[in-house]
Structure 1
Amino acid sequence: MDGNVDCLDRLDPELDVRVLSVPVAKGRLLSLGNLIRFRHALVSQKPDLLLSYAWGAVEWGLVNRIVPVCPHLHFEDGFGPEEAVGRQFRRRIWFRRAALAAPTELIVPSRVLESIALESWRFPEKRIRFIPNGIDCARFAAKPDPAVLRRQPGELLVGSVGTLRREKNFGRLIRTFASLPAEPACRLVLIGDGPDRPALEALARDLGISDRVTFAGQMLNPELAIGLLDVFALSSDTEQMPLSLLEAMAAALPVVATDVGDVRGMLTDDNRRFVVPRDDESAFTSAIKTLLNDATLRRRLGHGNRARAVREYDEAAMVATYDTLFRSAVQGDVQGSRKRDH
């Protein structure tokens, strides 16, 4: 909706994908012009199914409500920094209730978000569908490329993957890393890029550890690097069911993480003691330190996480679920697809 269509380059060129240019007036208040343009786009295209994603697309549900053009599924998968600490904007709550009323179905990837939809947004349980994220587990279980992340002999790697933006709070991870003891020798690797990178690089310099922090940048094939890490660290202020965590699990890594979203429930029981309160940086440091000093524990947790990822989060199951859901929605039998899923 912001005109950035760079992701089209990532799609298989044989896919039949068209981008509709729909002008959007940005602002805090509801725009009548936006509603008219969105309604016109729906009426002119007459889609078989409307899929809208996140808060920024809620208005599409509103313009499809009064005289529906097609079935509608709305997806929510998390919050930006303005709602990262659990604070829900009241105007957004009320607008979701109005725009996404029956028969719209709400799709969420985490149990925490499901609870928010039930308790805060007041969605009926029968209109909420929990579908966990899935990844290509075999891709991340493959042998990584040692040349991608060069390490010194005996050096351990603590790493994380994600867009370098505020709600991911990589500053917390850098501060935590700076407080680790000198032994065993280790390096922090951040895979990803984003608006916070200059500030994070400055923080590493200010803490005197810039020589031990690698900003690896954006990687189109992160599976070549993730498996080289010894400990995966997730320091976010907010998450739901992070794909980077699933990738780390599939790569057989032990995990240290803040207790946000469904993170605790995603990991094996054995690894959950290394999920710490979000704002307890000393506990985060202690968890990383414990794992760095125990190779046997790292291997055991990693093998357990990989088995869990393969068993519960492989993308084939996710794709099959969505396939059934989309077909049922077009046929007007979403509730029937829910029964078949169960």
Structure 2
Amino acid sequence: MRIAVVFRDPPPQSERAGAARLRRLAAALDDRGHEVRIYCLPWWETSGRRIDIDGLEHEGVTFEHPALYYSRLPGLLVRYGPDLVVASADPPGAVLSAWLGARLARVPLFVDWYGDEPDVSGSEWVGPASSLPTRVVTPSEHQRTRVREYGASEANTTVVPGGIDFPTITATDPGERVDVAFAARLDDDSNLEDLLLALAELREAGEWTATVVGDGPERAAFETQARDLRLDDRIEFVGDCPREERIAVYRGAHTFVQTARRQTFARELLWALACGCVGVVEFQSDSSAHELVERRDRGMRVTDPDALDGAISESWTFGFRDVDTTFQGFDHAAVTGQYVELFREAGVGAR
């Protein structure tokens, strides 16, 4: 199968989680034997329009003014003759160009709309970009609702969750045992203060310990708050860590607490749950994290920050695990399989 991926700013030009997700999907489809070509704005210094980057063919749509990307893209798609077009939602104008190219080529258009695309909501093209594609794929019901507010329908939207590398979990040894783990970029949206206040209420509840993974502009303030609450001997701030070190922390932790105010998809929570943690999620109106613990025995949701300490204490009554095989369905290979099934439903002979 020949697949065109419309991706104006792919990695390494974009470091968004949504960009990494679409790049991973393109690579996974290429690994399955499909012919994949990414249509982007070129940033390489070679004279050729096409270049292989980490095993994927990239074609620069224009080396001239970036605005020409939108007008030249449809013709290039038709010339390529794809069986399917997959597009990033960033920017919405490129989705319309991809839609025109797909329509002229008489093939389906799928749009991966992660939710971290910059300035999407302010675009004049956001309505048709959400309503015209054959299918809009989001990582959570929370983001699906947002896309429907832009103009998409229930029929042309679906959820395919973010993925994890489950074999890496089982291949990584658990770290030192701790009672609570937390991971996020340490900014105001991380809302770590709610966890610190909850742990302060549990100061007399045994000799518990906690690990905070992540760095950011509010780290020093959070460390100061931990000292002021007399928790600095219980909580270790380990900074940003590579994936294997995060897995080791999660496999050694009993409970993972999620308090972030904004999360299109709670990736670290998913990794922690797969590593056996009991998940405690503080519900936030602009976060999808609660979706990962709903209807799960080893997960709980709280709507009141004052109830967070009680939920953490209750989570410690669950048995300890350092892996949870029920999350194998979130492995990257399984997630790619969900995309392939959607392609088949649209009449594309995918494998």
TM-score relative to the length of structure 2: 0.68
Structure 1: any 5+ residue segments left out of the alignment? 24-32, 83-87
The superposition leaves residues 79-138 of structure 1 with CA deviations (integer Å, 9 ceiling, x where unpaired) of 5999xxxxx96x45x6421334423531112223323333x2231233213222332334
Counterpart-to-counterpart distance in 2, 1:226 and 1:194: 20
Counterpart-to-counterpart distance in 2, 1:204 and 1:220: 25
Residue 306 of structure 1 corresponds to 324
The superposition leaves residues 267-295 of structure 1 with CA deviations (integer Å, 9 ceiling, x where unpaired) of 554334x2111xx2211111112233x3x
Residue 33 of structure 2 corresponds to none
**Are the structure 2 counterparts of residues 34 and 213 from structure 1 closer, same or farther at C-alpha, using a change threshold of 3 Å?**
farther
Matches within 5 A, 1:135-214: 135-142=164-171, 144-146=173-175, 149=176, 156-214=178-236
Shift of 1:39: 3.8
| Amino acid corresponding to residue 237 of structure 1 in structure 2 | R
State whether structure 2 residue 347 is matched by structure 1 residue 336: yes
The superposition leaves residues 126-169 of structure 1 with CA deviations (integer Å, 9 ceiling, x where unpaired) of 321322233233432445243xx5x6xxxx43112233344332
Match of 1:63 among 72, 97, 101: 97
Match of 2:139 among 92, 109, 115: 109
Q: Is the 8 A contact 2:114 2:139 kept in 1?
A: yes
Shift of 1:309: 1.3
**Are the structure 2 counterparts of residues 77 and 164 from structure 1 closer, same or farther at C-alpha, using a change threshold of 3 Å?**
farther
Counterpart-to-counterpart distance in 2, 1:194 and 1:5: 22
Q: Is the 8 A contact 1:52 1:58 kept in 2?
A: no
Give SS of 1:230's match: strand
Greater share of residues in helix:
1
Residue 289 of structure 1 corresponds to 313
Q: Is the 8 A contact 2:258 2:289 kept in 1?
A: no
Matches within 5 A, 1:264-283: 264=291, 266-272=293-299, 274-277=300-303, 280-283=304-307
**Are the structure 2 counterparts of residues 79 and 3 from structure 1 closer, same or farther at C-alpha, using a change threshold of 3 Å?**
closer
The superposition leaves residues 275-332 of structure 1 with CA deviations (integer Å, 9 ceiling, x where unpaired) of 111xx2211111112233x3xx233xx58x824313x43332212223455xx4xxxx
Residue 75 of structure 1 corresponds to 112
Shift of 1:235: 0.9
The superposition leaves residues 168-223 of structure 1 with CA deviations (integer Å, 9 ceiling, x where unpaired) of 32232233223322331222212233344333334334434334322222223122
Counterpart-to-counterpart distance in 2, 1:266 and 1:142: 25
Give SS of 2:210's match: strand
Greater share of residues in strand:
2
Counterpart-to-counterpart distance in 2, 1:284 and 1:214: 20
Counterpart-to-counterpart distance in 2, 1:2 and 1:247: 24
Match of 2:152 among 123, 127, 130: 123
Give SS of 2:55's match: coil
Q: What is the identity percentage for the equivalent residue pairs of Structure 1 and Structure 2?
A: 19
Counterpart-to-counterpart distance in 2, 1:268 and 1:308: 13
**Are the structure 2 counterparts of residues 110 and 264 from structure 1 closer, same or farther at C-alpha, using a change threshold of 3 Å?**
closer
TM-score relative to the length of structure 1: 0.69
Shift of 1:241: 3.9
Which is bigger in relative contact order (C-alpha 8 A, separation at least 6)? 1
State whether structure 2 residue 161 is matched by structure 1 residue 132: yes
Residue 128 of structure 2 corresponds to 98
Match of 2:274 among 250, 257, 263: 250
State whether structure 2 residue 337 is matched by structure 1 residue 320: yes
RMSD: 4.1
